[in-house]
Amino acid sequence: MFKQLASLLALLLPILLLSACGDSGNSGNGAIVTNEVILAKSADNYQEVRHIVLRGSNQEIGAAIARLSKEQYQARPFPFPTQQAKQDRNSYIQQNFPYLAQRQKGIEAYYGWGATDLYDSSSLWYDIFPVNCSAIFFPKAVTATGNSFTARVMDFYTVDINQFMGKSKTALGNKLFSRNYILETYPQDGGHAAMVVGTFDLMNGAYDGFNEKGLVISGLVDQALTFTPGGVIHDLTKLTVQEGLSYLQMVRLLLENATTIDEVEQLLKNLKVYFPVDGIHFLIGDRSGNAAILEFFLDADKKMTYTLIRQPAGKPTIITNHSMRLNSDPSKYTYDKSQSYNTFYRYMRLYDYLQASAFLKYTLDDGLYAMSLVYGYADDASEGAAAPFPVRAIWSVAMDVDDLSMKIKFYTADNTAQKQPVMTDAYTFRLKR
C-alpha cells in the first residue's frame, strides 16, 4: 500500500501546500459573512482552525469557496484529460447534485474559466491523506436533554508529506491535517443549511457535520475497504475520469438534501460513489434518534455497492475503523491489549464505557469524555506510512442535532509525561437559519 501512496503523493507534491496562512478577521465581501482564525498555528499549537460562514445563492457560495480556497489554502484544481471527461463529470453532477453544479458555476466565474478550460470545478483539494477515528451516536432516548447527538474523535499523523513518504527525517513544511475549518453554509436558493468540520477541500471536505433538519454524519476509515485490492482509487490523476461523486461530495449531498435515515437511503439508490485515497464508512443519525452505519464494498462483479446497516432503536451506536458489516459481533473481537490504537481495542473501550455508564442520561460533555478514552496517541504505520509516525487526536466533537450546536476541542501539543494529547477547551458553535 505504501508504494501506491508514495506514488500518489509524489504526483501531488506540486499542488500541496507547504506553508500556513495566518491572516484572520471577518470579510463582508460577497457571500463571505465570517472568515476568522479561531486557533492559530504557533510553537505551542499544532494546527490552524478557521471559522467560515457563507450565505448567499449557491453560485455566490461557490465563488466564495473558490476565493477562500485560493487565498487561504492555495488549493489548485485537477485538470480533466479531455473535454468528454469534463462533460461526463459535470452532467452527472447536474443530474444528481444540482446545488453543487450551481457552486461550480461560481468557481468557474471566479477563475474566469471558459467552456474550453479543462479544470475540475467540483473539488479544490489541498493537504490530502487518510484519517482514523472513533465515534458514538447517542439517540434521544439515552440523553439528558432528550436531544440526539454524535460524539467523535478525529485522529491523524502529525508529520509533513516529506516525512510520511520517507523523503526527510524532519519536517520541511506544512504538516498534514494541520489546517482545518468549521464551515457554515446558508444557501438561499436550495439546499439545507449545514455546519461541518473539515479539511482537504473547502468545497466538499466534510468529515463531521449536521444540517438544519437534524441529520448528522461522521466519516471514519473502513480498513476492510481501504485494503481491498481495487477497492479504493490511489492515483489522484485518475479522479477526473471516475463516474459519480467522491465520498466527500456524497456527504455534502446527503447533508444538503436529506432529513432522515429513510431519505438518505432513497438518495443512495441513485448514486455511484468512488473513494479517493482511502476507504471510508459513515455513522449517520437523525433527529428522531434513528441511526445507521453506511459501508461500501465491491460486489461479486467488482462493482462498488453499499449496505445501510440500521441500528437498534434507543441504543448508542459505536463505530471505529473496522467494517461492521464483517465484524458485527463484539464478543468475537480478538486483539492485543497492549496495542492501544487497535481498532477493536478502541471499540471495546467505548463499549465498556457504555456498559458501565448505562444508568446515565448522557450529555455532550459525556460524549466528549467518552472520546477522550480513545484519543489517538501512538506511533503507527498501519495506514501506509513510511515508518511508525505519531498519530494524535486532531479534534474531538459532539454535535447536537436538535439544538443544532457542536462542542469541539482541538489538539495543540503533546503531554509526554502522561502520554496524552493536549486539547483546547471546548469551543461552541451553533447553526442559525
Which DSSP category does 21 fall into? -
Would residue 5 count as lying in a domain? Answer: no
pLDDT digits (tens, 9 = 90+) for 348-368: 999 999 999 999 999 999 999
Q: What is the DSSP string of 34-89?
A: EEEEEE---SS---EEEEEEEEE-HHHHHHHHHHHHHHHH---PPBPSSHHHHHHH
Check whether 281 has a pLDDT greater than 50.
Answer: yes
pLDDT of residue 173: 60
- Choice between 169 and 102, residue whose per-residue pLDDT is larger: 102
List Cα–Cα distances, 251 to 133, 281, 315, in angstroms: 17, 11, 24
Grid cell at residue 293: 452505519
Would residue 63 count as lying in a domain? Answer: no
Measured distance CA(60)–CA(107) in Å, rounded: 9
Strand 194-198 relative to strand 206-211, pairing: antiparallel
- The C-alpha angle with vertex 380 and arms to 354 and 224, in degrees rounded to 5, equals 65
Measured distance CA(43)–CA(35) in Å, rounded: 23
Mean pLDDT of the 58-66 span: 97
Amino acid identity at 97: F
3-class SS of residue 224: helix
pLDDT digits (tens, 9 = 90+) for 378-427: 766 555 444 566 778 999 999 999 999 999 999 999 998 988 999 999 99
Measured distance CA(394)–CA(238) in Å, rounded: 29
Q: What is the DSSP string of 229-284?
A: TTSSB--GGGGGG-SSEEHHHHHHHHHHH-SSHHHHHHHHTT--EE-BSS-EEEEE
Among residues 196, 219, 204, the alpha carbon closest in space to that of 282 is found at 219
Report the Cα–Cα distance between both ends of the chain, in Å, rounded: 44
Would residue 420 count as lying in a domain? Answer: yes
Measured distance CA(327)–CA(309) in Å, rounded: 12
Check whether 9 has a pLDDT greater than 50.
Answer: no
**Which pLDDT band holds residue 16 (cuts at 50, 70, 90)?**
very low
Cβ proximity of 421 and 376 under 8 Å: yes
Would residue 369 count as lying in a domain? Answer: yes
pLDDT of residue 166: 61
Among residues 317, 327, 243, 238, the alpha carbon closest in space to that of 282 is found at 317
pLDDT digits (tens, 9 = 90+) for 313-338: 999 999 999 999 999 999 999 998 88
Amino acid identity at 137: F
Would residue 364 count as lying in a domain? Answer: yes
**Which pLDDT band holds residue 11 (cuts at 50, 70, 90)?**
very low
List Cα–Cα distances, 64 to 43, 53, 67, 78, in angstroms: 31, 10, 5, 19
**Which pLDDT band holds residue 263 (cuts at 50, 70, 90)?**
very high
List Cα–Cα distances, 209 to 69, 280, 404, 408, in angstroms: 19, 15, 10, 12
Check whether 127 has a pLDDT greater than 80.
Answer: no
Check whether 232 has a pLDDT greater than 80.
Answer: no
* Of the candidate ranges 107-111, 157-161, 398-402, the one whose mean pLDDT is the lowest: 157-161
Q: How many domains does the chain have?
A: 1
- The C-alpha angle with vertex 194 and arms to 190 and 197, in degrees rounded to 5, equals 145
- Strand-pairing partners, residue 304, are 298
**Which pLDDT band holds residue 22 (cuts at 50, 70, 90)?**
very low
Check whether 64 has a pLDDT greater than 90.
Answer: yes
Would residue 206 count as lying in a domain? Answer: no
pLDDT digits (tens, 9 = 90+) for 31-43: 999 999 999 999 8
Among residues 309, 246, 244, the alpha carbon closest in space to that of 282 is found at 309
Measured distance CA(410)–CA(395) in Å, rounded: 4
- Choice between 429 and 275, residue whose per-residue pLDDT is larger: 429
Range of the domain at 387: 132-168+212-425
- Choice between 219 and 276, residue whose per-residue pLDDT is larger: 219
Check whether 92 has a pLDDT greater than 80.
Answer: yes
Measured distance CA(182)–CA(410) in Å, rounded: 12
Would residue 350 count as lying in a domain? Answer: yes
- The C-alpha angle with vertex 389 and arms to 413 and 328, in degrees rounded to 5, equals 100
Cβ proximity of 171 and 159 under 8 Å: yes
Measured distance CA(164)–CA(5) in Å, rounded: 10
Measured distance CA(19)–CA(307) in Å, rounded: 40
Strand 317-319 relative to strand 304-310, pairing: unpaired
**Which pLDDT band holds residue 235 (cuts at 50, 70, 90)?**
low
CATH code where residue 404 lies: 3.60.60.10
Percentage of the chain surpassing pLDDT 70? Answer: 84
Average pLDDT, the chain: 87
Mean pLDDT of the 278-302 span: 94
* Of the candidate ranges 84-88, 184-188, 357-361, 417-421, the one whose mean pLDDT is the lowest: 417-421
The sign of the torsion formed by the CA atoms of 393, 398, 401, 404 equals: negative
pLDDT of residue 407: 98
Among residues 312, 316, 398, the alpha carbon closest in space to that of 360 is found at 316
Would residue 196 count as lying in a domain? Answer: no
How many CB atoms neighbour CB 145 within 10 A? 14
